[in-house]
Structure 1
Amino acid sequence: MKTVETSFSVRYAETDQMGIVYHANYYVWFEVGRTEFFKSAGLPYWEIEKQGVFLPVIEGFCRYRRSARFGDTVIVKTKVQDMKPTRLKLTYEVFRQHDGTLLAEGYTEHAFVDKDGRPLNLKKSHPHIWEVLDKLQNFHPSS
């Protein structure tokens, strides 16, 4: 599976009074990783949506391991865990850059739907998008 890494600095607005990142912001970071994942595949979100495919989150999970703090630089590693014609599951790992500490890990699961929220069979309705995502899921770097 192809893993896409996205790095950024923790902003003050993402923290509480003690300078620790508020838990809900990890889901925002998952979204940043997801957006960059699709962009790196040549399928930016806006292009997928322009083609009539939307990916609402239908399930999310985050396990918090260590605290991120204001000023840390974090790396979000994103990859496809599972893909079916009607849904996609992505996994995330969030690390502190300077020491490699795993801060959080989780996943989001998405349905493929049209602009009216009706489920799509992506493999049948948009085979070109399916093929790109399938290649990412089955990506094996050469040794």
Structure 2
Amino acid sequence: MSPIIHTHQLRVRYGETDQMGVVYHTNYLNWFEVGRTELIRHAGLTYRQLEEKGMLLPLTDASLSYKKPAKYDDVVEIRTTVAEISPLRLTFAYEIYRLPEEELLVTGKTMHVFTSTDLKPIRLPRSEPEVYQWLESQHRGEE
């Protein structure tokens, strides 16, 4: 089965572009964060609630591949999946499309580790079984 794809749309704001009206490259990483935040929110959780449970997801690696530029006032869709999951690490994959053309603009991945609030690694599912089970079901393609 394929991972479940979570989608979130936004309109490119002027402040996200350079003088040519093209989205500045670092904004795609911000949009990746929007995608994973909304994916977790879909579970009925927020990052704040994860933190209150004593769990953080610090970023350890990021990769992006630029295909075409997004431009001012474009509507883009961020598609986020749980690409890999283990008791120690979590990898999200992203695709950003321009709508309504469904034109692929950027692909990428971010890797995170599960840590306590003092940044010590923790193992899931032992510490948060329901969070781990939900993320794993997203990876397996089960809603």
TM-score range (shorter-chain normalised) is: over 0.9
Displacement after TM superposition at 1:128 (Å): 1.5
Q: Which residue matches 1:131? A: 133
Displacement after TM superposition at 1:139 (Å): 1.9
Q: Which residue matches 2:103? A: 101
The TM-score with structure 2 as length reference comes to: 0.96
Following the alignment from structure 2 to structure 1, what is the Cα–Cα distance between the partners of residues 30 and 104?
17
Displacement after TM superposition at 1:129 (Å): 1.1
Offset from partner CA, 1:3-46 (integer Å, 9 cap, x none): 10000000000000000000000000000001000001222211
Q: Which residue matches 2:56? A: 54
Offset from partner CA, 1:41-79 (integer Å, 9 cap, x none): 222211111100000000000000001000000000000
The TM-score with structure 1 as length reference comes to: 0.96
Following the alignment from structure 2 to structure 1, what is the Cα–Cα distance between the partners of residues 46 and 137?
16
Residues paired across the two proteins, number: 141
RMSD: 1.0
Point out the more displaced range, 43-52 or 87-96: 43-52
Give 2:33's match in structure 1, choosing from 31, 34, 40. Answer: 31
Letter of the 1:24 partner, please give it.
T
Letter of the 1:31 partner, please give it.
E
Q: Which residue matches 1:117? A: 119
Displaced runs of 4+ in structure 1, greater than 3 A?
none
Following the alignment from structure 1 to structure 2, what is the Cα–Cα distance between the partners of residues 53 and 107?
21
Residues 67-106 of structure 1 correspond to what in structure 2 (within 5 A)?
67-106=69-108
Q: Which ranges of structure 2 fall in alignment gaps of 5 or more residues?
A: none
Between the aligned residues of both structures, percent identity stands at 38
Q: Which residue matches 2:11? A: 9
Q: Which ranges of structure 1 fall in alignment gaps of 5 or more residues?
A: none
